[in-house]
Structure 1
Amino acid sequence: MPDIIHLLPDNIANQIAAGEVIQRPASAVKELLENAVDAGATEIRLLIADAGKQLIQVIDNGKGMSETDARMCFERHATSKIHEIDDLFRIRTMGFRGEALASIAAVAQVELKTKRTEDTTGTYIEVENSMVKKQEPIAANTGTSFAMKNLFFNIPARRNFLKSNAAETRHIVDEFIRVALSFPDIFFSLSSNGQEMFHLERGTLKQRIVQVLGNTYNAKLVNVQEQTDYLNIYGFVGKPETAKKTRGDQYFFVNNRFIRSPYLNHAVMSAYQEMIAPDSFPLYVLFIDLDPSQVDINVHPTKQEIKFEDEKIVYAFVQAAVKHSLAQFSVTPTLEFDLDPNIQQLDAINKPFTNEQKEAASSSPLFKNFSERHQSHFIQPTNKSELKHWKDFYEGADRPAGGGNSQDSQDTAMGQEGGKKFESLLDQLRKPEGSGSSLGGFSSLGSTPAAGGFGAYASPGQGRLELVVNEHAPLTQLHQVYIVVPTNRGFILVHQQLAHERVLYERFVQVGADKAMATQRSLFPVTLQLSVQDAVLMNDLMGDLNQLGYLIEPFGNQSFVIQGTPADLEQGNEKMIIENLLEQYKHFSSDLKFSKREKLNRSLAWQQAIKPGTSLSEKEMRSLIDDLFKCQQPNVTAGGNPTYIEFKRDYLEQLFKR
């Protein structure tokens, strides 16, 4: 038998290795930006075309490379930062393994222009499929220009797995922001298809945060600054009102390197305990500086997951630093004991308390009740006749119909009428199964549709379950959150928001490619100004939103005009609806199993559903229940939460030991 083990060719080995480092265009952007930072650049420009699929170019004014270094940088594991094994535990630079450029050259067509200050000419190199195609001297400015074209041109399968241009652009923007926040003393710019998206001048960290995340945060940032012998923590956290439903504005940096750490995120969240909602996330941009020997950054190809030697100490320091800053800047809840200056002008403060006033006050019944009897709850009336006959409230029901005053008779009649309605409801509950009028039947979770009737469900061994809604058994809203609906075997408690979410969700799902929802044009279109990240997201969602009834058009410079909204949606708060919709969409984006349209359908259903605290009329409640049980799956929301809970008659009787 011939030998079967052989060495892979370099180009194939490089392509396999590139899969760990270059997963998408944003991965290459991260590596190239970090290389420019390591080169000592003070100005870094990023240019992309076709969401990085066609072109990713990074131009810096760093120290550049010699002709030999320019050629060597494309070799695997070629680096200027590691000379011995101990250097791995003293890493201060962004890159160190020498994998990035070799990986990029294996999956793209690369053009490199570089020149050092001391050299009269620069070096130009073309690399394709890990092979150098051209190398020649060139006139160039000091620094490096690295352009990669046609990403994954030699691996069509990998290229087919890339997302839409808008989705890939969002990932590129995320990587750009992380590097830009790490180094506010460096100028950064980002241009996409010839249009500048970011122009970030050099400045302080706070200025960079405001430049990147928006001017709305300018007065809502709290400074964090703690220095210890073990580590230093600095940066900014947002005031509680900046908390959102998404994790988009949370940034941790260790030795200027962006990291992902649910553990440290929990430390920040615990510092905000009882200041924000449990399902909200505060803004923070925090930097941790500590001895490189205390952290291992070489545990993941992307270097975004690290290990601390003692993560519990880091957790405690982060939590304490954030808590201290929030308390120091009076953000945490406190009792206010400052006296209102207007109180000092009152007569009770300015004028003396005379003996006559003192005697009059001490002789009053109110004074005696507090001082003599020590019963603040007992107030002796001055005239008993002024008291209402409170006993009549209980005695009215036993009084003859013609006796007593008119008010008492009216109260009695109302009590009797309420009793009749209650008895009627009990009669409906006592009726045998299948009797009474109905809007449709249903069963508990997991049942299957029965034949006949919309939303009709049958439950094995339990008989058909029907809603009982008529003039004798009306619907009842409880706490402006729930709707009590009588049934032939008890009643169900419907959560109005979750029920409405299910109705809206199925309505959005039914909107197909050839059927758009009706749009009501606005008399006064609303202009919406978004951040760069949200503008990219809006461009990605605009087509689907137009199909769902939202007529939105780009207006340039991250601005959009809301020309119309769904016909059945109340106008007047279009801007808030779209902003909340984008936040909710990003909340669902963490779950990769959802398609873009599925995320949008769920986001819109949550956004438009009636919220707890909304008072509903009898007609509105009937309409909602009717629509709910016309749904294909009325018992749960798209997220799996129950829309109603059933209370059966035998269970109710057990509660009262009947």
Structure 2
Amino acid sequence: MADRIQLLPDNIANQIAAGEVIQRPASAVKELLENAVDAGATEIKLLVNDAGKALIQVIDNGVGMSETDARMCFERHATSKIQNINDLFHIRTMGFRGEALASIAAVAQVEMRTKRDQDEAGTCIEIENSVVVKQSPVAMVTGTSIAMKNLFFNVPARRNFLKSNPVELRHIVDEFIRVALAFPHIFFSLTNNGQQLFHLDAGSLKQRITQILGSGYAAKVVPVKEETDYLNIHGFIGKPETAKKTRGDQYFFVNNRFIKSPYLNHAVMSAYQDMIPADSFPMYVLFIDLDPAQVDVNVHPTKQEIKFEDEKIVYAFVQAAVKHALAQFSITPSLEFDLDASIQGLDAVQKPFTDDNKAAAQSSSIFQAFTEANQAHRIEPSNSSSSNSSFRSLGSYIRPQEDDLFEQPTIATASFPSFPAPTETPTSFVSLAAQHGLFSAPEEVKLTQLFNTYVMVPNADHFLLVHQQAAHERVLYERLLQALDQQSLPTQQSLFPATIDVTPTDAVILQELLPYFQKMGYSIEPFGKTTFVIQGTPADMESGNEKIVIERILEQYKHFSSELKLSNREKLLRSVAWQQAVKPGKILTQVEMQALVSDLFNCSMPNAAPNGRPTYTTFRRDQIDKLF
């Protein structure tokens, strides 16, 4: 019987290794960018076509390679970073795997051009399926350009598993941002299909943060800097008011390498305790520098998960550093400008404050308003009865603000009039409820709102408690679902179209979702790289809040993207329903409550919100009797 065990050919072994290293175009982007950084480049350009499926090219002005090194770098286990086993535990460079380029060459058609400063000509190498098909001298400037074309051309099964172009481009943008944040002193650019998405000039870390995460953070970040014998921490954290519903703007770097660490994230979150809502996430870009011997970075193929020798010490340092920064921000806010010396020469500063000046100041109405009863809040009494009555009537419109935990107190979205006034009798919803076995007879009932959050629907032997937000989410979800599947919702064209600027990452998401928005009644058009014009909104939505609504829908969409494995269509449906639903804290009239309950029981699945949580619960009289 013949022997059955054989050695794999090199090209197949490389393809198997590539399965670990190169999972999608973004994986190759990460490896190529890290190699460019290690080459000492001050300018790095990333060009992609067809979201990296057709082309990924990285051009740098680093040190370049000799002809021999250019050939060797595509061999398996070839690296310039490791000479002996001890070097593996003192890694300070980015790329050190030794099989990244070999893996890329196994699953793509690669062309590399490279030249050192001391060489007269550079080297051009073309590789296909791990085989060098061409090598020749080439005229070029110092540096390296590596282009990989037709990813997974020889592994069609892997190529079929790639997602849509917008999804793959988002992953590429994520990897690009992580490297660009870690090295703000290097110029980076990203061009997709000939359109430049990022142009990041070299500068400070704060400048790089605002370039990538948005100018809104410019005045809303707090520096973090703590130095100890064991480790150093530096970076920036967002002020509490910048906390969002998604955890997207959170970056940890250990020795300049991006990592994912729920443990350290918990350290930051605990420092923000009681400062932000429980379901919100602060922004942070934090760098931890410590002895490489204290950390193992090679525990995962992507090197994004690492192990610390003493996690508890690192946790304590991170938590203390963030707490210290927040305390400094809240106690001693700094001024961003210097006092003009010429102010010291003004008359008001130079002249003495005489008794006459003092008497004149104390007799003024402004001074008295701040010293009499109620100080600045004092209102002069008026003899006019009409003014008193108007003040009382104004007070009748005052409503309690919504709880901060439930967001959007300022937005009058499609809450009401998205509940149309019921055309049937007020008891129509009871008839509907009877069909679901909730009521024995369609008797007329009066609804009650509890805690500005729940609607109580009484009956003879039990009552329902309807959660107003969950119920409205279900109503809106089914209405939007019908719009996507059948007839689009009507659009109300804006008299003055609003312009919205988003981050490059959000621009990719929004571009992908435009067809769905169109069917939901939103008319949004691209206007440049990261700018969109909102030409129209759903007919029942109050104008003036379009920008905030779209921004919050995107935030909620990204929240679903990070937590749930849903289709883009489903995530957007849930996001819009959540955004437009009436929130806890909103006072409802009797007509609005009846319309809500009626619409709820007209739904195909009235008992659950889109996310699965119940829309109502039933309390039977015998259950309540037992409590007493």
Please report how far the alpha carbon of residue 466 of structure 1 lies from its aligned counterpart in structure 2 after TM superposition. 4.5
Q: Which amino acid aligns with 2:174?
A: D
Conservation of the 8 A alpha-carbon contact between 1:108 and 1:128: yes
Conservation of the 8 A alpha-carbon contact between 2:434 and 2:440: no
Q: Which amino acid aligns with 2:276?
A: I
Structure 2 counterpart of 1:48:
48
Conservation of the 8 A alpha-carbon contact between 2:181 and 2:205: yes
Structure 2 counterpart of 1:610:
582
Distance 1:589 1:651 in 2: 41
Structure 1 counterpart of 2:319:
319
Conservation of the 8 A alpha-carbon contact between 1:252 and 1:258: yes
Conservation of the 8 A alpha-carbon contact between 1:152 and 1:159: yes
Task: Note the residue ranges of structure 2 that are not aligned, 5 or more in a row.
Answer: 334-356, 364-425
Q: Quickly say closer, same or farther: Cα 1:455–1:132, change in 2 above 3 A.
A: farther
Structure 1 counterpart of 2:398:
none
Q: TM-score, normalised by structure 2?
A: 0.83
Structure 1 counterpart of 2:374:
none
Distance 2:544 2:286 in 1: 38
Describe how 1:236-635 pairs up with structure 2 within 5 A.
236-330=236-330, 439-440=429-430, 456-458=435-437, 465-466=439-440, 470=444, 473-635=445-607
Structure 2 counterpart of 1:17:
17
Structure 2 counterpart of 1:71:
71
Distance 1:328 1:18 in 2: 48
Distance 2:564 2:427 in 1: 45
Q: Quickly say closer, same or farther: Cα 1:496–1:125, change in 2 above 3 A.
A: same
Conservation of the 8 A alpha-carbon contact between 1:124 and 1:136: yes
Secondary structure of 1:507 counterpart: helix
Conservation of the 8 A alpha-carbon contact between 1:184 and 1:202: yes
Conservation of the 8 A alpha-carbon contact between 1:438 and 1:469: no
Q: Quickly say closer, same or farther: Cα 1:156–1:615, change in 2 above 3 A.
A: same
Distance 1:95 1:123 in 2: 22
Secondary structure of 1:45 counterpart: strand
Distance 2:329 2:563 in 1: 36
Q: Which amino acid aligns with 2:542?
A: E
Secondary structure of 1:51 counterpart: helix
Distance 1:346 1:242 in 2: 44
Matched, 1:638 2:610: yes
> Structure 1, residues 256-287: CA drift from partner, whole Å, max 9, x if none?
00000000000000111110011111111100
Distance 1:494 1:102 in 2: 60
Q: TM-score, normalised by structure 1?
A: 0.80
Conservation of the 8 A alpha-carbon contact between 1:247 and 1:587: yes
Secondary structure of 1:280 counterpart: coil
Q: Quickly say closer, same or farther: Cα 1:483–1:466, change in 2 above 3 A.
A: farther
Conservation of the 8 A alpha-carbon contact between 1:508 and 1:601: yes
- Range that drifts further, 507-516 or 609-618: 507-516
Conservation of the 8 A alpha-carbon contact between 1:275 and 1:332: no
Please report how far the alpha carbon of residue 556 of structure 1 lies from its aligned counterpart in structure 2 after TM superposition. 0.8
Secondary structure of 1:180 counterpart: helix
Q: Which has the larger radius of gyration?
A: 1
Secondary structure of 2:163 counterpart: coil
Matched, 1:232 2:211: no
Please report how far the alpha carbon of residue 506 of structure 1 lies from its aligned counterpart in structure 2 after TM superposition. 1.7
Distance 2:543 2:303 in 1: 47
Conservation of the 8 A alpha-carbon contact between 1:465 and 1:489: no
Distance 1:478 1:53 in 2: 55
Secondary structure of 1:48 counterpart: strand
> Structure 1, residues 160-207: CA drift from partner, whole Å, max 9, x if none?
211111111111111111101111111111111111111111111111
Secondary structure of 1:329 counterpart: helix
Distance 1:620 1:21 in 2: 56
Q: Quickly say closer, same or farther: Cα 1:167–1:537, change in 2 above 3 A.
A: same
Please report how far the alpha carbon of residue 591 of structure 1 lies from its aligned counterpart in structure 2 after TM superposition. 3.3
Conservation of the 8 A alpha-carbon contact between 1:188 and 1:199: yes
> Structure 1, residues 205-257: CA drift from partner, whole Å, max 9, x if none?
11111111111111111111100000000011111011101011000000000
Please report how far the alpha carbon of residue 454 of structure 1 lies from its aligned counterpart in structure 2 after TM superposition. 7.7
Secondary structure of 2:565 counterpart: coil
Conservation of the 8 A alpha-carbon contact between 1:49 and 1:55: yes
Please report how far the alpha carbon of residue 467 of structure 1 lies from its aligned counterpart in structure 2 after TM superposition. 7.2
Matched, 1:165 2:165: yes
Q: Which amino acid aligns with 2:457?
A: V
Task: Note the residue ranges of structure 1 that are not aligned, 5 or more in a row.
Answer: 334-344, 352-435, 442-452, 459-463
Conservation of the 8 A alpha-carbon contact between 1:467 and 1:486: no
Conservation of the 8 A alpha-carbon contact between 2:233 and 2:287: yes
Q: Which amino acid aligns with 1:20?
A: E
Distance 1:519 1:628 in 2: 24
Structure 1 counterpart of 2:88:
88
Q: Which amino acid aligns with 1:218?
A: A
Distance 1:508 1:201 in 2: 43
Structure 2 counterpart of 1:205:
205
Q: Which amino acid aligns with 1:439?
A: F
Please report how far the alpha carbon of residue 142 of structure 1 lies from its aligned counterpart in structure 2 after TM superposition. 0.3
Structure 1 counterpart of 2:625:
653
Structure 2 counterpart of 1:404:
none
Give the total of aligned pairs: 543
Distance 1:83 1:223 in 2: 38
Secondary structure of 2:277 counterpart: coil
Secondary structure of 2:515 counterpart: helix
Please report how far the alpha carbon of residue 331 of structure 1 lies from its aligned counterpart in structure 2 after TM superposition. 6.2
Please report how far the alpha carbon of residue 542 of structure 1 lies from its aligned counterpart in structure 2 after TM superposition. 0.7
Distance 2:443 2:493 in 1: 38
Identity %: 69
Structure 1 counterpart of 2:60:
60
> Structure 1, residues 126-159: CA drift from partner, whole Å, max 9, x if none?
0111111100011111000000111111111211
Please report how far the alpha carbon of residue 24 of structure 1 lies from its aligned counterpart in structure 2 after TM superposition. 0.8
Q: Which amino acid aligns with 1:101?
A: L
Conservation of the 8 A alpha-carbon contact between 1:455 and 1:630: no
Q: Quickly say closer, same or farther: Cα 1:350–1:303, change in 2 above 3 A.
A: same
Please report how far the alpha carbon of residue 455 of structure 1 lies from its aligned counterpart in structure 2 after TM superposition. 7.9
Structure 2 counterpart of 1:137:
137
Q: Quickly say closer, same or farther: Cα 1:291–1:467, change in 2 above 3 A.
A: farther
Q: Which amino acid aligns with 1:584?
A: Q
Distance 2:358 2:487 in 1: 69
Distance 2:533 2:331 in 1: 36
Secondary structure of 1:549 counterpart: coil
Q: Which amino acid aligns with 1:123?
A: T
Please report how far the alpha carbon of residue 655 of structure 1 lies from its aligned counterpart in structure 2 after TM superposition. 2.7
Q: Quickly say closer, same or farther: Cα 1:617–1:104, change in 2 above 3 A.
A: same
Please report how far the alpha carbon of residue 314 of structure 1 lies from its aligned counterpart in structure 2 after TM superposition. 0.1
- Range that drifts further, 141-150 or 566-575: 566-575
Distance 1:604 1:469 in 2: 35
Conservation of the 8 A alpha-carbon contact between 1:267 and 1:318: yes
Please report how far the alpha carbon of residue 640 of structure 1 lies from its aligned counterpart in structure 2 after TM superposition. 1.9
Q: Quickly say closer, same or farther: Cα 1:484–1:252, change in 2 above 3 A.
A: same
RMSD over equivalenced CA pairs, Å: 2.1
- Range that drifts further, 262-271 or 151-160: 151-160
